[in-house]
Amino acid sequence: MSTQWKIDTSHSSAGFSVRHMLITKVHGRFARWGGTLSFDEKDLARSRVAIEIDAASIDTNEEKRDAHLRSADFFDAENHPKISFTSKRIEKAVNGYRVTGDLTIRGTTREVVADVELEGQGKDPWGNQRIAFAGKTQINRTDFGLKWNQALEAGGVLVGEKVDIVVEVQAIADAGSVAAE
């Protein structure tokens, strides 16, 4: 039977990194987000993931950059306040799972595939059943309409097109779904 889980965002993270000036990477995260998952290890066709992120909650540790990322040059958070991911298929892979789903950024939806590992599960000191997953994928930001850039004097551009996305999830089981097993 599939167990229903709610992401515990106080013990989880949704982050990213992107190449800056061709020489380093800038890392960021989203402060406000959440989601649910159902997981049936014996019948992955019954498993699902749904995540929703508040685009305006972007945090790269630089307020001016964050304001620019919220603007129409990038996320256009005023007109597209949510980033979402909804799984379509979960399959067993050599080192965990492959999760295929629809990622929507700035009103554009594209299919992406994430490599996901089951990190573990157990009961917390308060009697809640918990499970943890780590997932990663890479997207091209221009596929989602995030096209702004600036040419560098020495050649190249300020912001890379490839964005590495890493999500670390710890989730708490819905008491009713655990009892049903």
- Domains along the chain with CATH numbers: 3-179 (2.40.128.110)
- pLDDT tens string, the chain, 181 residues long: the values are 678 999 999 999 999 999 998 889 999 999 999 999 999 988 899 999 999 999 999 999 999 999 999 999 999 999 999 999 999 999 999 889 999 999 999 999 999 999 999 999 999 999 999 999 999 999 999 999 999 989 988 888 889 999 999 999 999 998 765 544 4
Short-list 51, 27, 163, CA closest to 99? 51
pLDDT value for 180: 43
Q: How far apart are CA 151 and CA 93, in angstroms?
A: 40
pLDDT value for 127: 93
Tokens of 166: 């890493």
For residues 139 and 162, is the Cβ–Cβ distance under 8 A?
Answer: yes
pTM: 0.91
C-alpha dihedral (126, 96, 100, 121), degrees to nearest 10: 0
pLDDT value for 59: 98
pLDDT value for 10: 95
Which residue is it, tokens 């800056």? 20
86: amino acid identity, one letter: T
Q: How far apart are CA 148 and CA 145, in angstroms?
A: 9
pLDDT value for 155: 84
Task: Work out the number of other CB atoms within 10 angstroms of the CB of residue 71.
Answer: 13
pLDDT value for 177: 58
Tokens of 82: 């949510």
Element (DSSP H or E) covering residue 179: helix 175-179
Q: How far apart are CA 70 and CA 77, in angstroms?
A: 5
Which residue is it, tokens 């958070």? 77
pLDDT value for 179: 43
CA torsion sign for 89, 12, 71, 152 is: negative
